Structure 1
């Protein structure tokens, strides 16, 4: 029986488009422990692009931990959850390659998507805001937790 991991992801922009960033965390579903974190300032982008980039980063971090795991993605972006679940069409040309990238990390049968209220997505939201704050002063986000740093460093490079 394969292990289950929870990916929580968020993205935001200060202005839409505006300075943007994302945050993602991989959690142990039994203990709630953060196993890996990822965040990045991505420059000027829309909120939806940042949300998708957070999803991709979270999936990659989970894959680095266990490529055989079943993944429960939890996000407060109804758009991303519905599109990635196949219930809504992806019409915007900027979203299509990001959705394809997210779908390529794990086989589709290994990943489920769930919408959660913003108040339940505080960890990923905090990481996204830390990334945007770092970008505002010309820096990139760096993890605080050494285990999260190791797991994030083990994730494959983004293309």
Structure 2
């Protein structure tokens, strides 16, 4: 059975303010980015943008393989706790978005994990690219994105050996 990682983020410049989201589907076995999505959504709250990023990532993963298991990683404690069922969803704007996210895959196929913001840079960059494009009156385009390149560089740096350089024999 295939496993995907969905990383999603949303943001707004002002709360509410101009908002966008970004989401990434990653093959859990290889670490390969399979899909990126981002969209400027107009004026919205940060939480609405976060949920829209989650929905977009789940739908993209479902399009790739509806039988896959999905590990969602987000830096939004609110979304992770609400979608995990540990916190109630009280805000009326969040309820339909959470319900939409819950309908994409059976709950048995999806797990949620909170990650620190610095480990969600790919999705964050996509959300910011979408907001920047919206500010210019444009749509986000995957061909103009640098998010995956930045993420690959960060992964390579994280995997590089650390410590002092090897010693050379005297002579």
Fold shared per TM-score above 0.5: yes
| Residue in 2 that maps onto 1:139 | 138
Moved over 4 A (4+): none
| Residue in 1 that maps onto 2:77 | 78
In the alignment, does 2:102 pair up with 1:103? yes
CA distance in 2, matches of 1:24, 1:64: 14
User: Could you say what the CA RMSD is over the residues aligned between the two structures, in angstroms?
Assistant: 0.9
| Residue in 2 that maps onto 1:130 | 129
TM-score by length of 1: 0.89
Q: Report deviation, 1:30.
A: 2.3
Check the 8 A contact 2:3/2:29 in 1, yes or no: no
Secondary structure at the counterpart of residue 82 of structure 2:
helix
| Residue in 2 that maps onto 1:5 | 4
Secondary structure at the counterpart of residue 90 of structure 2:
coil
Q: Which runs of 5+ in 2 are unaligned?
A: 145-171
Q: Which runs of 5+ in 1 are unaligned?
A: 146-159
CA distance in 2, matches of 1:67, 1:56: 14
Secondary structure at the counterpart of residue 104 of structure 1:
helix
Alignment of structure 1 residues 1-159 onto 2, 5 Å: 2-144=1-143
The structure with the largest alpha-carbon Rg is 2
CA distance in 1, matches of 2:93, 2:99: 11
CA distance in 1, matches of 2:66, 2:38: 20
Number of corresponding residues: 144
